[in-house]
Structure 1
Amino acid sequence: MTERILIVGSGAREHAIAVALARSPQKPALLCFSGAKNPGIDGLCEVYGLGSITAPAEVVAFAAEHGATLAVLGPEAPLAAGVADALWAAKVRVVGPTQSLARVESSKAFTRELLAKYAIPGNPFFQRFESMDGVDEVLARFPMQHVIKDDGLAGGKGVKVCGDHLLSQAESVAFCKELVEQGHPFVVEEKLEGEEFSLMSFCDGKTLRHMPAVQDHKRAYDGDKGPNTGGMGTYSDADHKLPFLLESDVAEAQAINERVAAALAEECGALYQGILYGGFMATRDGVRLIEYNARFGDPESLNLLTLLESDFVAVCVAIADGTLDAVDVTFAKKASVCRYIVPEGYPDTPRKGDAVVMPEQLPAGVSAYLSAVDMVDGTLVAMGSRTVAFVGVGETLAEAEAICGEAAKQVPGPFFYRTDIGTAAAIERRMEHMQKLRSV
C-alpha cells in the first residue's frame, strides 16, 4: 500500500519533514494542511489545503477527503488541541501524541510532577502557583536564582530567567502578578547553571530510538545577546554528542526520555507515539531537565532530518503501528550546522513583505528549508518571522559551519543571521564553561 501522508503545519520543520518523507524509497503521496502556504512543501505535495490546524474537525475533514492513511503533526498547538485524538478516531494513524499525553509540553507543572511522582532524576526545585500566596517566600529562597514559567503554551514567550529577563526581585514579583492577573497558573523553578542541549527520541510508547544531541541558540544576536527567539540555529557533531558533553550526559538524557515515556504510559493509560523531545542542561551534578516538547524541535529537526539515513516513512509507520523495535534507525556520522535567515527587527519588530532572493546554487552539502514565506505574484516574500534555514553537513563541524555560512551570506536584502553558530570560538567557550563547572 502506498502511504498517503498528511503533514500538518507549514514551517521549516514541516518542510524538512516533507523532504525526508519524499526521499523514501516507498514514494508516499504527500498532503499538507496548514494556515499558510509554504512553497517548499507545496512543491512536494499532491494536495495542499488551508485552514485552522487547531480545529480538529477541519483537519479530519481534509484527511478524509484526500484519503490520508498517516498524519505527521508538526507544531505543538494542534497536539494540545486534540488533533491527534480526532485523527485516530477517524482511523488515520498519527505520529504525534494525543492531547492527554501532549501535556508533557502543554503543562510545565504536569511534567515536573510526573518526574517527581515516578522518581525520575532531572528535576530542579519547583513549585506551581495559581495565586501570589507563597510566591514571595519561594522567590526569596532562590534570590536572583530562579526561573518563572507560564504553565501553559506561550509560544516561547512564557519563560523568564533571572539575569536574562528578570533583573531584580521586584521584576520577578511583577511578572508573577501579571500571570495571576491573566489567569495563568505558573511554575517557579530553581535556576540551573550549565550548557543546554536537546535530545529527541522517536517513540512508539514502548521503544525509543534516540537521535543525536543538538544545541539550539535562542538569542537573536551573536554572543547569545538580544531577545529570545524561536531558535536562530543549531549544530550537531559527527560523534552524535556535543563537544562539551560527556558520554554519561548523553546516556543520562536518553535514560530520562525512556523513563518518561514509561511514566506517561502509566499516568495516561496510553502509549506516547511521536517525537519525545527533552530540553536538558548539563550541570556539574549531571543532567537536569529544562522542559519537554511533544514534537520535533525547530530548528533541531532540520539538522536531524537532514542527517537521517533510515527510511523516514518506515520510521513514521513504526511509531504509529507500535513496531519501532523492528526498525533500525541510523543517522550519518557527520557534523551539521543550521542557521536561520530572519528579517531585520526580528523578533520584536520584524520587517514584512521583503523579497527573498535565494542563492542560485547552494554549496555542495547544504540544504535549504523555507519557513515564514509566501509567494506573491511569483516572488518569494518574507512574512515577518524566521524566513529560511540553511543546513550544512560536513565531515567536521568546521566544514559544516563554513559551507552553511557560505550559503547564508548569499541572501541579500534587509535580513540577518547569527554568524557564530557552530564556530570554533563559540564551542570553545561552552567547553571552557563546562570544564570550569565540573572542576568546582
Structure 2
Amino acid sequence: MNVLLVGSGGREDAIARKIRETDNLYSVVSNENPSILGLSRNVIKYNKNTQEIVNFAKKNRVDIAFIGPDDILNTDLVDSLIENHIPVASPGQKAAMIETSKEYMRNLMERHHIKGNIENKLISDKEVLKTFFENNDTEYAVKPIGLTGGKGVKVMGLQLSNVAEAIAYASEIIDRDGKVLLEKREIGEEFSIQAFTDSKNVVFMPVVQDYKRLYEDDLGPNTGGMGSISDKNFILPFLSIDVVNEARGILNDIVTAMREENNPFKGVIYGQFMSTAQGVRVIEINSRFADPEGINVLTLLQSNIVDIFLDIYSGTLKNNIKFKSKATVLKYIVPPGYGIKPVETELTIKDRIETDNFKVYYSSVSGTLNHVTTTKSRSLALIGIGDSIYEASDIVEDNLKYITGDYYIRHDIGTEAMIKGKIKD
C-alpha cells in the first residue's frame, strides 16, 4: 500500500513508523523532520495548497491518507482528497468541528442529552460579560471557541487570579474571535481516552494522562503537553474501571449523535475527561491522535495501522485491535524558555540510542537523526516502556545522558512520588 501522511510532529513520527512496518510512506511536512524524511519515499512541504497535496497523492498512487494535525483538519483537505477518489481515514472539515468548535461540541452534547457536559455560557458582548461575572461567584474556565494548540484556555484560580483578570482575558477573546466560551471550573483528575471509529464501531485505546503545565508539580503556564503516562492494564492506578467505562460511554454517545445528525465521524477521536466527585465531565473532544498521548498508544500498538485506516474508511472497523500490555512514560525535551520565551538551540543524539524499551520521536526539529536544530516548539519525545509506570519513567531518565545540548524537560512525570501522590489524593 502507498500511504499519505500529513504532518511532521512527534505524533506523526510515531504514525509514520507504524505505517513503515508494513507499507510505503509518502509525506506532507511542515518542518523537515529527519525521522519522517528518512522513512518516506517522497515528501513535499505543506504550504496550505490543497490542490498540490491532491496532485501529490494522485502522482504517487496513494491508497489511503491520514491527516495528523488539528489545524489541517480544519481545512478542505480531507474533503478534497475524497472528492478526488483518494480514501482518507480522517474526518472531513464538518466532522472535525467536534474539536474545532467548542460551541458545536457543547451544543451537540446538550441536544442529545449526553452525560458529562459542563455548565457553560457563550458570550459575544463585553457588557453582557461584565454583568455575567458581577452576578456570579462561580469560578470559570475561559476558552476561545476554536483551536488554541492547548495553550488558549485559562482557568480562574489557576492562570487567572481574580474576576478582573477573567474579564480582561475574556474581552481579549471577544475582540479577536467575536465570542468567548465560559465553562464552570471542575475539580478532579484529568485523563484521555482515544479511539478508532468508522462512525458506527468504536474501538478504544489504552487510557493516558498528559501533563500540560510547564513546570514540575504541575505549576506554570499550559503548554502543548510536556509528557504523558499509560499503564500496562490500560487504565491508570488512580482511576476506577467504572470511571473509565463512563468516559468510554460518553465518547461512544458522541460518535452516535454525530452519525444521527448526518455528520458521521471517521478517524481517531479522543476525549479529555475529568473524574470529579459528581461523575465524569468532558473537558474537550478532539478529532485526531493526541500529542503526546497518541505517541504512548502508538508505541504499544501491535495491529497493522494501515489495515485499521482502510477499515475506518470502508466502515468495517473490527474490535480486534491489539496493544502491548506495558506501561509507558513520555517526557518531551523542549527548547530553553519554551512556553514563555523559547530560544532555538541544537541537540546531539547518540547513534543507535533506541532499544526495545526506549524510543526517541522527532517533533518540531530539522537536521539529522544525530544532530537537530530545534524550533521554538517541542523537540524530542522520549518514551520509556516498562512493566510499571515508575520503571518506564526511570528508563527515560537513564537515557538522558545520551542527549546533549541546552534543553528543558520535566523529570517528575511518571515518578513514584507523583503517582503515589495522586493515589493518596
Describe the SS at the equivalent of 2:61.
coil
CA RMSD of superposed structures (Å): 1.7
Inter-partner Cα distance in structure 2 for 1:173 and 1:33: 41
Inter-partner Cα distance in structure 2 for 1:213 and 1:104: 20
Q: 1:91 and 2:85 equivalent?
A: yes
Number of positions where the alignment pairs a residue of Structure 1 with one of Structure 2: 425
- 1:92 to partner: Cα distance: 1.0
Bigger Cα displacement from structure 2, 298-307 vs 155-164: 155-164
- 1:134 to partner: Cα distance: 3.0
Describe the SS at the equivalent of 1:84.
helix
**Map 1:113-124 → 2, pairs under 5 A:** 113-124=107-118
* Aligned match for 2:242, one of 236, 245, 248: 248
Q: Which residue of 1 aligns with 2:18?
A: 20
Q: 1:274 and 2:267 equivalent?
A: yes
* Aligned match for 2:223, one of 218, 229, 246: 229
Query: What amino acid sits opposite 2:117 in the alignment?
Result: N
**Contact 2:327–2:392 (Cα < 8 Å) also in 1:** yes
Describe the SS at the equivalent of 2:403.
coil
**Contact 2:353–2:402 (Cα < 8 Å) also in 1:** no
Inter-partner Cα distance in structure 2 for 1:96 and 1:328: 20
Structure 2 residue runs without a partner (length 5+)? none
Structure 1 residue runs without a partner (length 5+)? 434-440
- 1:65 to partner: Cα distance: 1.9
Q: Which residue of 1 aligns with 2:373?
A: 381
- 1:361 to partner: Cα distance: 2.6
- 1:426 to partner: Cα distance: 0.8
**Map 1:325-336 → 2, pairs under 5 A:** 325=318, 327-336=319-328
Query: What amino acid sits opposite 1:117 in the alignment?
Result: R
Q: Which residue of 2 aligns with 1:42?
A: 37
Query: What amino acid sits opposite 2:5 in the alignment?
Result: I
Inter-partner Cα distance in structure 2 for 1:111 and 1:381: 38
Q: Which residue of 1 aligns with 2:297?
A: 304
Identity of aligned residues (%): 36
Over 3 Å counting, the alpha-carbon distance change for 1:365 and 1:142 in structure 2 is farther
Q: 1:342 and 2:337 equivalent?
A: no
Describe the SS at the equivalent of 2:113.
coil
* Aligned match for 2:199, one of 202, 205, 209: 205
Over 3 Å counting, the alpha-carbon distance change for 1:188 and 1:10 in structure 2 is same
Describe the SS at the equivalent of 1:218.
strand
Q: TM-score, normalised by structure 1?
A: 0.93
- 1:79 to partner: Cα distance: 0.8
* Aligned match for 2:313, one of 282, 307, 320: 320
Inter-partner Cα distance in structure 1 for 2:253 and 2:162: 37
**Contact 1:55–1:81 (Cα < 8 Å) also in 2:** no
Q: Which residue of 2 aligns with 1:436?
A: none
**Contact 2:347–2:406 (Cα < 8 Å) also in 1:** no
- Residues 82-114 of structure 1, C-alpha deviations (whole Å, 9 max, x = no match): 211111111111121111110100111110110
- 1:378 to partner: Cα distance: 8.6
Q: 1:58 and 2:75 equivalent?
A: no
Describe the SS at the equivalent of 1:278.
strand
- Residues 178-233 of structure 1, C-alpha deviations (whole Å, 9 max, x = no match): 11222332110100000100001101000000001100000111111122111010
Inter-partner Cα distance in structure 2 for 1:378 and 1:279: 34
